[in-house]
Structure 1
C-alpha cells in the first residue's frame, strides 16, 4: 500500500522513464502552438472503459508520482494498463514564441481533426493535481468524456479551480475542502490514504459508466410513482422538470442565464433524472431542496448539454 506523505524538503521530482508499452498517446508542451496529434495505438472498442491519463512529465509531489506508478503497474480491470492511455504534459516555459496564458480554447484549436475524432474512443480523462486546463480541454472536445480530477494531500494548494469546477468527479485527500466546490461540484469524494484514493478512482469511474437499463429516478419532490415515469424515454431524455406554472408563464432569458436558471428553479416543483444522470450529478442532486440548489443544478445540466424535458402540473 502506498502512503501519502508531506513533501520532504529534500525530495527532487524527476521525469519517469517511459516505454512504448506505457500507451503514450502524445507528449504535449502546453505553452507551444504546434498541432497536437495522437500516436496510432490499438484501442479497445469499449470506449466507455478507455481512460486518458493526463500525466505531468515531472510530478509535483511524491503522492502524485506514486499514483502514476501504481496505475502503470496495477493489474486492474478498471484502472490498469489495458484501459489507460497517457498524454504526457511538459510544463516547461517556451521563451519568446510560447503562449503566456493557459487558454483551453487555444489548446482545442491545436488539436488536429483526426485527434478530435480519436477522442470518441475514450470515456474518461483522469488528471492528478491539475495546475492548468489541458484536461478540461479534452473534456470540452467530446460530449461523452467525463473528467475525474484528483487532488492529493501533499499538494499545498487546491489546484486549478476552473478544472475542478467543471470536473465530473473530484477526489481529494484534503480535509479543508473548498466549500464552494462542495456545493457546486457534480460529484465529490474524500479519501484518507493513497489506497483510498486509488480505490475511489476505480469506484467513481465504474459508477459513471453508461447504464444499460437507464431508468428514470426521482430526484426532487416526486417520490410517489408518477405516470411519466413509465412514458419518458431515457434514450432521448436525461432530465425531467415539472413546472407549477402554465406554458405561457414559463421563465425566459431576459438578462443573464444565471438569472434565468434562478427564475426557472423558483417554479420547478419536481425533478427526475435518468439513472446515468443521477449518478453524474449525485452531489448536486442532494441539494435540490432550496431554490439556490435547484438553480445551480439547472445551470450545470444545461451547460453540460443535458437533454431536458419540461412538463407542466
Structure 2
C-alpha cells in the first residue's frame, strides 16, 4: 500500500504549562488498480487499523483491501482527505468500527460511499454504556479490548465477505476459523497473565478511557483515566487533581501512557502522584507500525498485556499459540 500522510496538532493550556496532545492524521491507499476485466476482485475499504488487520487475515488475496487509517493514527480526531473520498466512492464494501469511534470518516462514508454496503463491525458487540463527552451516556467504541469480542468481529467480517464473493466462501471460512482459534487461545492466555498480578495491584490508570472491555473481561479495575472515551476531550486542572489523588489513594505501582497520545501530561500526573510511568506505552486505538511488536491485532493485545503485567508486578510469559 502507498501511504499518504497528513498531520495535525492540538494543544491546551493546563496547569500553567502548554502541553500538546499530538494527533496525527494520514491514510494509506491500496496500490491495487481499479477493477477491470482482468482484475475483478471486490473492493473492500476498512477504517481502523484493527479492522483492516482482521479483514486482511480473512480476505487475503481474494479481495482488494484498502485501509484508510495508518498505524499510529487516532481515529477519534482523524480528518479525512480527498483521497479517502475517492476510495470510499469506488468501494463495494466498507467495514468500519461504529459507535462513533471514527466520526469524521463515518460522515464522509455516508456522503461518498453510496455504492457500497456499509457494515459497522464493532457494533456486532453489545456495548458498554459510559459517560462520554459533556456528561452524555454513550456506547464505548473500544470493543476490541476483549479477544472474545474480536472473534465476533471476525465472524461478521467472514459473513460479509462471503456475501460479497460467494465463490470464495470456503477459503474465507477456513481463514476465519484459523484466526478464531488463535483469538480464543489469546483470550485464555490474557486471563492467565492477569492472574499473576497481585490482586491489590490489578488496577489500571491510562491516558484515555479505552480499556473498559479489557478490564471487565480480564478482571482488572480501571482506577482512573486522564480523559474520557474520546481523545477530543481536554482535561481540566480539576480532572488532573482528582486523578493524582486517586492514584495516591489506590497506590498503584505504575500508570500508563498511550502510543497515539503525547505522553507529556500523563508524565506530569505521574510526577505529581509520585508513581512510576510504565516504561512501555499501551496501544489503544491503533495497532503498531509494520515490523513493530504490535503490528497486528493479536500482537497488539500481547504487547499491551505484557506492558500491564510487568508494570503491575505480575509474571509475564510469552504467548505461543498452537495450530
> Does the pair score TM above 0.5?
no
With normalisation by structure 2, the TM-score equals 0.31
With normalisation by structure 1, the TM-score equals 0.32
Task: Name which one, 1 or 2, has greater alpha-carbon Rg.
Answer: 1
Query: Greater helix share, 1 or 2?
Result: 2
